Structure 1
Amino acid sequence: MATLNLTKLWINLLSDGSAISAYSSDRGRSYEVATEVRTYAGGRQRAITAEGARRQFEFKLMQVSAATVDQLEAWAGQAVQVRDHRGQRFWGVYGGVTVGELRDSTYTAAITLQGITVDEGA
């Protein structure tokens, strides 16, 4: 029986399939439903909730080259697919890259992916 070991994080640009891979640390995530509380006559307060949920995923790529950082910066604002070392897939858009410089002339690059809905069959 064949076994597949995923050791890296993969990011694919959805428009053309270009890929970036790097080692990564564990990811963070958040989940939020758009809600607000409105005050009506007599001081009554009611919750107003919008349909759907907002999901964010934080990924940190380790020991990447300057060219990879440039590529990540160029992809900001475009739809991507991210596959982590567990094989899980995430689709979304990130607005920017947070870069840290390491001693060996490589970088860390962190992105916060805003989840989007994707039809896999299309």
Structure 2
Amino acid sequence: MATLILDRVWINRLDTGEAVSAGSVDRSQQYEQDGEVITFAGGRQRAVATEGERGTFGVTLRRVSLATVGKLRDWMGVAVLVRDHRGQRWTGVFFTVMPSEPPVAPGPTAAYWYDVALTLRTITAAEGV
């Protein structure tokens, strides 16, 4: 019996389907809703919240090529679908690409890989035809 181990993050453009995948670390999620507590007559306090939720998904892609860094830079502001190894998915856009050179042992290929940090801002997207 074969065993399939999923250990990557996939990023697909929604308009073209073009894809990038890489191993990942530092996956974080945050969800917010606008609201406040209002004081009414007699000192009663009630929560008032607006519809909708703001979400972000942060991830660091590991060991990607310079060509992939360039591709991600081209995709800034474009709607993408991100899936992780757990089957979770987020639709959104990112506006910042932060490549960094990971600490690696010296060698002939050490200078060709980058770690890239992205923060996806979730958006509402219709699924289906």
- TM-score, normalised to structure 2's length? 0.80
Give the share of equivalent positions with the same residue, in percent: 51
How far residue 7 of structure 1 moved from its aligned partner, in angstroms, is: 2.0
Q: TM-score, normalised by structure 1?
A: 0.84
Runs of 5+ unmatched residues, structure 2: 105-109
2:116 is aligned to 109
- Summarize the alignment of residues 13-28 of structure 1 with structure 2, pairs less than 5 Å apart: 13-28=13-28
* Conserved? CA contact 1:25–1:60, under 8 Å: yes
Q: Which runs of 5+ in 1 are unaligned?
A: none
Give a deviation string over 1:91-113, Cα, whole Å, max 9, x none. Answer: 11111111111242211101111
Provide the aligned length of Structure 1 versus Structure 2.
Answer: 122
User: 4+ residue runs of structure 1 moved beyond 4 angstroms?
Assistant: 36-40, 43-48
Give distance in 1, aligned partners of 2:124 and 2:62. Answer: 27
Shift of 1:29: 0.6
Deviations 1:5-62 (CA, angstroms, capped at 9, x unpaired): 312111001110000011101410111001246789xx99875422111011101100
Q: 1:88 maps to which residue?
A: 88
Give, as a single letter, the amino acid of the residue that structure 2 aligns with 1:110. Answer: A
What pairs up with 1:31-70 in 2 under 5 angstroms?
Answer: 31-36=31-36, 48-70=48-70
